[in-house]
Amino acid sequence: MSDIPASAPTVDLSSLPPPTVVAPLSFEAILANLIADFRTRLPDFDALLESDPISKLMEAFAYRELLTRADANDQARSVMPAFAKGANLDQIVARLGLTRLVVTPATDAAPAVMERDEDLLRRYLLSPELMAIGMTAGGYEARVRTVAPSVKDVSVINTGGGGISIVLLGRDGDGTVPPETVGMVAAAFAGEDATQLTDIVTVSAATILPYSATLTLWIRPGPAPIVVQAAAMTAARAYAAGRHMIGRAVYADMLRAAAASVGGIERASIDIGDVDPGPRGAAWLETLSVDVEVIA
């Protein structure tokens, strides 16, 4: 075998159009319908002023109907994979025989840390690939996430000649995966029935590429520099966290743009170039400095 069978593309649930069962909410539209219905029933009543008690009653009825519709929307969303959370998501994934995994067992001092909704949903979307004839890339990933729920990201690389390389990124800190986790995942693919007989599977931890950046922001007099600094740092770190995945480059222009997006900033500069960790690595923002200068 020279190629991993192609995975079915995982659906981006956020890109799907809103389901028609979720009705749009408009207090004004509901109130207008109530007034129209009232005038149909009592066409001779012409004292419907805003200050009239009947108007206030209809406004109250319209608001209560708005809440009822909102509750119906929430109930409809609760049975959709894209929106389900907590126990509702547990019920959905049970259709495919999945249960929420324990990431860290409970101790006398702390409760158990359970698998996040995002990770459980990811396993749910990948689980049909475990049923494929011939393990797909998605099937490998699904099995890894089941065996090691502490893993944040998984990359499956076809090295040729039947070689399959599985690269792991941890969830904590810089993403370093401990040897025991690597060994546990490798053991899950060691049996003859775990993979295709022609697959040679190796498992390794991602190479962590730490980097540091200094951003300089220029603002005009007015906003408090410390407030701008804190907001810019939060935005920049959010971008960096989103790029902390296997094989994802950190683009200096995007990091700078994230910091500059907070508002009130005239221009911004950054002291590093793009950071490319390669297909087996992950870029980790080790330190971030944000300097704010006020334009005279």
DSSP 8-class letter at 202: E
For 21, other C-beta atoms within 10 Å of its C-beta total 12
Residue 117 carries which side chain, given as an amino acid letter? D
Indicate the length of the chain as a whole number. Answer: 296
CA-CA distance, 216 to 43, in Å (whole number)? Answer: 68
Contact call for residues 169 and 282 (beta carbons, < 8 A): yes
Contact call for residues 84 and 125 (beta carbons, < 8 A): no
103 and 214 housed in the same domain:
no
CA-CA distance, 182 to 141, in Å (whole number)? Answer: 14
Contact call for residues 168 and 185 (beta carbons, < 8 A): yes
Question: pLDDT category, 245, cuts 50, 70, 90?
Answer: very high
Residue 3 lies in a domain: no
Residue 8 lies in a domain: no
Residue 160: phi and psi, rounded to 5, are 90, 155
pLDDT of residue 49: 73
CA-CA distance, 159 to 199, in Å (whole number)? Answer: 11
181 and 147 housed in the same domain:
yes
Residue 198 lies in a domain: yes
277 and 248 housed in the same domain:
yes
67 and 92 housed in the same domain:
no
Tally of domains in the chain: 3
- Spatial CA neighbour of 243 closest among 271, 285, 207, 272: 285
253 and 178 housed in the same domain:
no
Q: 146: domain range?
A: 86-205
Residue 41 lies in a domain: yes
Is the whole model's pTM more than 0.75, yes or no? no
CA distances from 231 to 212, 263, 296 (A): 18, 9, 22
Helix (H, G, I), strand (E, B) or coil at 266: strand
pLDDT of residue 2: 40
Average the pLDDT over each of 85-89, 125-129, 138-142, 252-256 and give the range with the smallest value: 125-129
**Which of 190, 205, 220 represents a domain boundary (last residue)?**
205
CA-CA distance, 88 to 79, in Å (whole number)? Answer: 7
Helix (H, G, I), strand (E, B) or coil at 23: coil
156 and 259 housed in the same domain:
no
Long-range pairs, 55-62, Cβ under 8 A, ≥24:
58/31, 58/34, 59/31, 61/34, 62/27, 62/30, 62/31, 62/34
For 73, other C-beta atoms within 10 Å of its C-beta total 18
pLDDT of residue 86: 92
pLDDT of residue 219: 92
Contact call for residues 211 and 274 (beta carbons, < 8 A): no
Average pLDDT in the 25-41 region? 90
Residue with the bigger pLDDT between 213 and 188: it is 213
Residue 153 lies in a domain: yes
**Which of 205, 239, 269 represents a domain boundary (last residue)?**
205
Residue 12 lies in a domain: no
**Which of 12, 42, 77 represents a domain boundary (last residue)?**
77
Residue 96 lies in a domain: yes
Both tokens of residue 195?
């993979």
User: What is the tens place of the pLDDT at every residue in 95-151?
Assistant: 888 889 888 888 889 898 898 898 889 888 888 766 654 567 888 888 898 889 889
* Runs of H (alpha helix) within the chain: 27-41, 53-77, 86-93, 117-126, 137-147, 179-188, 225-242, 252-260
Both tokens of residue 24?
């749009």
pLDDT of residue 191: 74
Average pLDDT in the 1-7 region? 46
Residue 1 lies in a domain: no
* Percent of the chain residues topping a pLDDT of 70: 91
